[in-house]
Amino acid sequence: MARFLDLALLLGSVAVTMVTFGPAFVASSSARALATPRLGSTTLRLGSQPVAALAAASAPTMKASPSFAGVGAAALLIGVALARRRSERTLSTQRRLRLAGKEIPRNKEIAWALMCSVFGIGKTTAFTVTQAVGIDPHTRTGDLSEEEELRLAEELGRYTLENPLRRMYKANCSQLLEIKHRRGIRMQKGLPVRFQRSKTNNRNARKLNPYRL
């Protein structure tokens, strides 16, 4: 959203500049084109009367060249506005945000930042949490206000996340192993547990799946 605001600000400033100083720029350019003698022309000669008349006629219009100062001032204002916007975004990015004991990156959308940073939050949970507190899931984390951050932290406090969820997961696996369940035994060996083929296609599972018990 911040990128679109910057782009809209830039386009609006350029449009205002063109509307304000465009006619003066065109007038000064046309006056200079008329006042410049051409080598291949037979009517425009140095010291002749037509050249003097054109120079005298274009002399008042050449005063429109100070409009370039206005263009420079407008460009300066655009640069100041963009620099201010960039500095505000930098300050908001430097401010840390910790949710569920994890630091959330400021340069990502809030839903994806939660999915990538907090163990136990997937796509469904992330969108549910953000909509429950009235935040657009596609809002960048750096654009959140302090009130929205507090509401988000309060809502996440109702879920089991990070280390408590890991302990719960390990306890469930240990319970399956204690009762000699097939899933518990295969978890102990690091094999897939959902009836996948394991006669020949379990090599990756043995490499990637750690011994979970």
Helix (H), strand (E) at residue 11? helix 2-35
| C-alpha 39, offset from chain centre | 54
Assigned CATH topology for domain 162-208: 30s ribosomal protein s13; domain 2 (4.10.910)
CATH number of 98-156: 1.10.8.50
Return per-residue pLDDT of the chain as tens, 213 residues.
556 556 656 666 665 555 555 555 545 555 555 555 554 444 444 444 554 454 555 554 444 455 555 666 677 778 777 777 766 666 555 667 889 889 999 999 999 999 999 999 999 999 999 999 999 999 999 999 999 999 999 999 999 999 999 999 999 989 999 999 999 998 888 888 888 888 887 777 777 666 665
| Residues 111 and 137 sit within 8 Å (Cβ to Cβ) | yes
Q: Where are the domains of the chain?
A: 2-94, 98-156, 162-208
Contacts with 135 (C-beta within 8 Å, 6 or more apart), sequence order:
110, 144, 148, 151, 152
> Token pair of 120, please?
């136990």
Candidates 156, 151, 150; CA nearest to 119 is 156
Contact between 93 and 112 (Cβ < 8 Å): no
Q: What pTM, to 2 d.p., does this model score?
A: 0.52
